[in-house]
Structure 1
Amino acid sequence: MRKGVNMHILFNNSKIDYSKYITTRVYKKGDIVFNEGDLCTSIGLLESGALQISTITILENEYSISTILPDDIFASTLLFSSSPYYLGFGRCLKETKITFISKANLIYLLQNDEAILNNFLSFLANKRLIAQERLKILCQKSIREKILFLLKSRMNEKRTIYFSSKEKLALYLNIERPSLSRELINMQKEKLITYNRKSITLL
């Protein structure tokens, strides 16, 4: 266990001295952490900053797949797959600090610290649930159905969901941002919801 520094959630309640099993790097805005087709040899723990995962389409347009934020982990399943090659490239949106753990070191930590094992399995389980939720969202036929499905699956006791930006919400719902804005306006006019820049409330 390291003391006196901010810990990634993977190490919550860990008892082992994991400092010798990790490597930490700081990247500048715009730096490429990995390229599409690179061999994945470690998982990455995002300590600070933001890492955008993107790919280039067949028409050579850049498409954003996801954005990795602090306390998130990337390549957690890719590392153990039968084809561990990145399907996109990772570019830092701001100064970003990433801790890397090689496959061998990760296996050692998982075998020798129950807290790290539990934290890692919990992360994988939650990631799987989110993937299943997104699949169900993508199965919804209309923009309104997608919004309502997300609201009903994620809203709190106040019937509200929160998001960092409309751009990211539109990306998650797999719709264009202008289309999302138009539907939110229509739903508010029909008194189905109220919304602002950071939240939507189901009435």
Structure 2
Amino acid sequence: MTLEGIEKSRLFHGMTAKELSSCLDSLDAQEKKYRKDEIVLHSGEQTSNIGMVLSGSVTIESNDVWGNCTVLSHVGKNQCFAETYALLGEVLLVDVRANEDCTILFCNIRNLIDNNKKSSPWKETFLKNILIISSQKNLVLSGRSFHTSSKSCRGRLLSYLNATSLQTGSKEFDIPFNRQQLADYLNLERTNMSKELSRMQDEGLIKYRKNHFKLIRED
């Protein structure tokens, strides 16, 4: 198992090498590889595993029976997914899809709440880290609701790009989505969104190429 650098992730932050080894062993950690566009976790199923991206990235999607797709979030290297579903044992309401070829570390966190399991030094740290991760996820989801609250295509784009600029601390940045994913994330029609981006660039509000954006502020 190639796990170099995972001690720097939020999930295992604050653990000693010994605690990390014990944690991975106790949670039956397994590494799995997925090809681009392959479904990692399916909606309608249950999971006892929290997933952490070791390489590549995944997207969290809501896909309905009529073929409509809504991209809810992007999960990159050393970031986690499915922790709430795994802890609560609830049926997944989303699909987790490989955004590119990726490697995922799965840890069975149902073992954490098994009353028959003895307490371990790493457990408190691990649970604290999951709480922080869940709180961060809430911010992301509330952010998406904020971006999609505008009725206009431009309003949604400006909200998302401005928030990304604030989060990165720069007026120039890369976004984790391609055009279709960005349209799905903002609940927009791709063609209309692309036209609006072109108009915004023509008006001197932004410059962009593929997923690289630069916000231009008027003097």
Alignment TM class, shorter chain as reference: 0.7 to 0.9
2:57 alignment counterpart: 50
Structure 2 match to 1:201: 215
**What does residue 122 of structure 1 align with?**
132
State whether structure 2 residue 163 is matched by structure 1 residue 163.
no
Distance of aligned partners of 1:94 and 1:121 in 2 relative to their CA distance in 1, 3 Å threshold: same
> Residues of 2 paired with 1:93 and 1:158: CA distance?
25
TM-score by length of 2: 0.74
Deviation at 1:110, TM superposition (A): 9.8
Task: Provide the residue aligned with 2:90 in structure 1.
Answer: 84
Q: Between Structure 1 and Structure 2, how many residues are aligned?
A: 200
Report whether the alignment pairs 1:103 with 2:109.
yes
Q: Which residue of 1 aligns with 2:41?
A: 34
Paired letter, 1:88: V
What TM-score, normalized by structure 1, do the two folds share? 0.79
Please list, as runs of the form range in 1=range in 2, the aligned pairs for 1:131-170 lying within 5 A after superposition: 131-156=141-166, 157-164=169-176, 165-170=178-183
Structure 1 stretches of 4+ with a deviation exceeding 6 A read 108-111
Give how far 1:20 is off. 0.6
What code does the residue aligned with 1:45 have? M
CA RMSD of aligned residues (A): 3.1
Mapped to 2, the partners of 1:132 and 1:176 lie a distance apart of: 21
Identity, % of aligned positions: 25
Alpha-carbon distance in 1 for matches of 2:107, 2:48: 9
Task: Look up the SS of the partner of 1:79 in the other structure.
Answer: helix
Identify the residue that residue 6 of structure 1 maps to in structure 2. Answer: 5
Q: 1:109 to 1:31 in 2, by over 3 A?
A: farther
Secondary structure of the residue aligned to 1:11 is: coil
Is the 1:26–1:95 contact (alpha carbons within 8 Å) kept by the matching residues of 2?
Answer: no
- Note the alpha carbon deviations across 1:55-94, whole angstroms, 9 max, x for none: 54232x262535433222111122234x611123444455
Letter in 2 for 1:172: Y
Contact 1:25–1:99 (CA<8 Å) still a contact in 2?
Answer: yes
- AA aligned opposite 2:15: S
After TM superposition, the structure 1 stretch with the greater mean CA deviation from structure 2, 110-119 or 181-190, is 110-119
**How many Å apart are 1:118 and its aligned residue?**
4.0
Relative to structure 1, the CA distance from residue 144 to residue 31 in structure 2 (aligned partners, 3 Å threshold; closer, same or farther) is: closer
User: Which residue of the partner structure matches residue 194 of structure 2?
Assistant: 181
Asked if the contact 1:45/1:72 (under 8 Å) is kept, the reply is yes
Q: Which runs of 5+ in 1 are unaligned?
A: none
Contact 1:52 1:64 in 2 (8 A): no
1:27 and 1:4 mapped to 2: Cα distance?
Answer: 13
Which one is further off, 128-137 or 162-171?
A: 162-171
SS in 2 for 1:45: strand
TM-aligned CA deviation for residue 31 of structure 1: 4.8
